[in-house]
């Protein structure tokens, strides 16, 4: 009778140390899994902004061409990032003072909020393609830099859109590039 009472009172006292350690270990494992998933989500969201803005620029260029029969040369070069400011982890408002601001307004590209990446778009006609992409990229996975590829041989109007950003402020840019002759967006250092 006494041993039954002891068992009941021991059961009422609480958890054993082993049970608590097992629970703490399980919570730690779940937290680690959650952190990995969160980092993947943040990295994917990091290149969602430039992809969406570049698609908006692409659409605006096509609309401009439908009216004027040529694409609009918006930027003075592919390194003349819009909006103005340093490429870092800080957001910058779309618009404002920039040497190419008039052309950007004429192209009528808008964003829902401030942006972390800088954008440039150059255009021309024929095979006299003079734009060069941002230097310092390896174009890993491609046979050569996309704009020197023989497949990029425009005979009529063409445009190139480039975006760059430095989300972790380490001096290494994430670069996204597309052109009127490319079906998709090429990117390098997307986990930047």
- What is the number of structural domains in the chain? 2
pLDDT in tens, 66-125: 999 999 999 888 888 898 878 888 888 888 788 888 889 999 888 888 888 999 998 888
Residues 97 and 173 occupy one common structural domain = yes
Pair (67, 120) in one structural domain = yes
Query: Looking at the structure, do residues 137 and 112 belong to the same domain, yes or no?
Result: yes
Last residue of a domain, one of 44, 61, 77: 44
Query: Are 26 and 116 contained in the same domain?
Result: no
Q: For residue 160, what pLDDT is reported?
A: 87
- pLDDT value of residue 77: 82
Of 10, 28, 44, the last residue of a domain is 44
Tokens coding 185: 């967006």
pTM over 0.85: no
Who wins on pLDDT, 192 or 182? 182
Helix or strand holding residue 121 (H, E): strand 118-125
**Nearest-CA neighbor of 98 among 132, 75, 121, 123?**
75
Range of the structural domain that residue 123 is part of: 48-188
Distance, in Å, from the CA atom of 165 to the CA atom of 168, rounded to the nearest integer, reads 9
DSSP codes, 123-174: EEETT-----PPSS---TTSSS-GGGSTT---SSEEEEEEEEE-TT-SSPPE
Q: Is 30 helix (H, G, I), strand (E, B) or coil?
A: helix
């Amino acid at each position: 009778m006494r041993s039954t009472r002891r068992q009941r009172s021991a059961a009422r006292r609480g958890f054993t140390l082993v049970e608590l350690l097992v629970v703490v270990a399980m919570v730690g494992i779940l937290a680690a899994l959650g952190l990995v998933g969160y980092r993947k989500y943040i990295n994917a969201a990091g290149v969602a902004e430039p992809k969406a803005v570049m698609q908006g620029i692409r659409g605006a260029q096509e609309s401009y061409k439908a009216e004027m029969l040529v694409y609009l040369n918006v930027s003075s070069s592919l390194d003349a990032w819009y909006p103005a400011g340093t490429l870092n982890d800080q957001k910058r408002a779309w618009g404002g003072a920039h040497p190419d601001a008039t052309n950007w307004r004429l192209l009528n590209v808008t964003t829902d909020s401030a942006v972390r990446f800088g954008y440039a778009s150059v255009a021309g006609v024929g095979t006299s393609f003079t734009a060069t992409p941002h230097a310092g990229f390896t174009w890993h996975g491609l046979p050569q830099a996309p704009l020197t590829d023989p497949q990029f041989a425009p005979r009529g109007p063409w445009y190139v859109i480039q975006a760059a950003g430095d989300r972790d402020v380490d001096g290494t840019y994430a670069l996204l590039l597309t052109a009127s002759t490319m079906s998709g967006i090429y990117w390098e250092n997307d986990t930047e």
